[in-house]
Amino acid sequence: MTDHLANGDRVETTANLAAIEVRQVTIDGQLLQVAVRHGGGSGLPLLLFNGIGANWELAKPFLEALTSTTAIIFDVPGVGGSPRPMLPYRPSTLARLAAGLVAELGYAEIDVAGVSWGGGIAQQFAHQYPKLCRRLVLAATAPGFTMVPASPSVLWKMATPRRYTDKDYMNSIAADIYGGAFRDDPSLIGRHAAAMRGARSLGYLYQLLAMSGWTSLPWLWSLPQPTLVLMGRDDPLVPPINGQILAGLIPNAEFRMIDDGHLFIVTRPAETAGIIEAFLADASRQVEPSSPLTRIANSVRGLVPTFRGRRDAQAPRDGEPHQS
C-alpha cells in the first residue's frame, strides 16, 4: 500500500483495488484536507464525518472495506491536514463547509454518515440540508449535550487531545475509553495510534466548543431521511442507550447493535461497511411520516426494557446483601 499526502496524490488500497485521492480544497476561505475513496458502484457517494480529534487516516480501514461506494471525508479545521480557523465554529458552520465541498466535487445529492462526535455534525447536516442528504447513518453517537453520559473517569480521559500526541498514554487508556476489541487485542491500539497525525490543542478545543450546548432533540422527529443507527454493545464512551434514543425519535430509523466497542468502524471495518452499504442500497426503505408525539412515545416505550435491564443487572443476587 502506498500513502502519499501531497495535493492530488492517490493512495492505492489492497482491499478492492480502489483508490483514495487526497487533496486540499478551499471552501469559503477555509482550506480542507479532503480524501475521496473512489468506488466502482453507481450509488450516491457517502460523506463521512469523523470523530473528535481524528484525522481522515483513522477511517482508512473502513474506507478500504467499502466494496463499491465512493466515500468523501475531510479533516475538520484544526485537525490533521486542515489548518485551524481564526475563530471557533458551530456544527452549522461545518455543515455549510461540507455542503460547499459536496458542490465543489460536483454532487447534487449524497448519503451522509457520522461517527461519534461526527455523528452530531451528520445530524446537523441532514437537518440543515434535507434535499442534499438522501440517507443518514449514525455510528456510536448521541443527540448532543442531552446524551446519557459516559462515566466521569472516561469523560476526564477524553477532555484533552493527549491520546493523539502521546502514544504511551493512548496505550494506557484505549481499552477504558473504547472498550470492545481494544480490551482483548493490544496490537489494535498500536495500529490505531500509528495512524494518528496529532490533533492540535486549539483545534481540539474548538471541536469541544462546537458541541457545547448543541442538541438535536428538538428536531430529530423532523428528519426526512431513512436512518441507520449503529452502536457498539461495549461502548464506555457513548452508552448504547443513546442510539436507542436517536432511533426512537427519528422517523423511519433502524437500530442495530454491533458486538464491539466505540470504534467498531475501525475494529470491524468489513462488517460495518457491509451493513452500511446494504442499508444504502436498499431501495425499499422509504420515509414513514409520523407525528412528534408518536415518535416520543415510541422512544420511551423502547427505552423501558433498557432501563429495566440496567436495574436488574444492579439488583443483588440471592444471598447477596442489599446496598444501602
Burial of 316 (0-12, 13-18, 19+ CB in 10 A): exposed
Q: Classify 205 as helix, strand or coil.
A: helix
| 42 classed as catalytic | no
User: How many Å apart are CA 116 and CA 190, to the nearest integer?
Assistant: 21
User: How many Å apart are CA 24 and CA 119, to the nearest integer?
Assistant: 23
Q: Which of 68, 82, 92, 116 is catalytic?
A: 116
- Give DSSP secondary structure letters for 79-125: STTSPPPSS---HHHHHHHHHHHHHHTT-S-EEEEEETHHHHHHHHH
SS (H, E, C) 20-80: EEEEEEEECCEEEEEEEEECCCCCCCEEEECCCCCCHHHHHHHHHHCCCCCEEEECCCCCC
What does each C-alpha distance from 252 to 11, 158, 225 come to in angstroms? 37, 32, 8
DSSP letter for 197, please: -
Judge whether 218 and 89 are in contact, CB under 8 Å: no
- Sign (positive/negative) of CA torsion 124, 127, 132, 136? positive
- Please give the span between the terminal C-alpha atoms of the chain, in angstroms, as a whole number: 59
Q: At what angle do helices 167-178 and 186-194 cross, to 10 degrees?
A: 120
User: Under 8 Å CB-to-CB from 187, ≥6 apart: which residues?
Assistant: none
Residue entry with cell 480490551: 183
- Give DSSP secondary structure letters for 152-172: HHHHHHTSSTHHHH-HHHHHH
Active site residues per annotation: 116
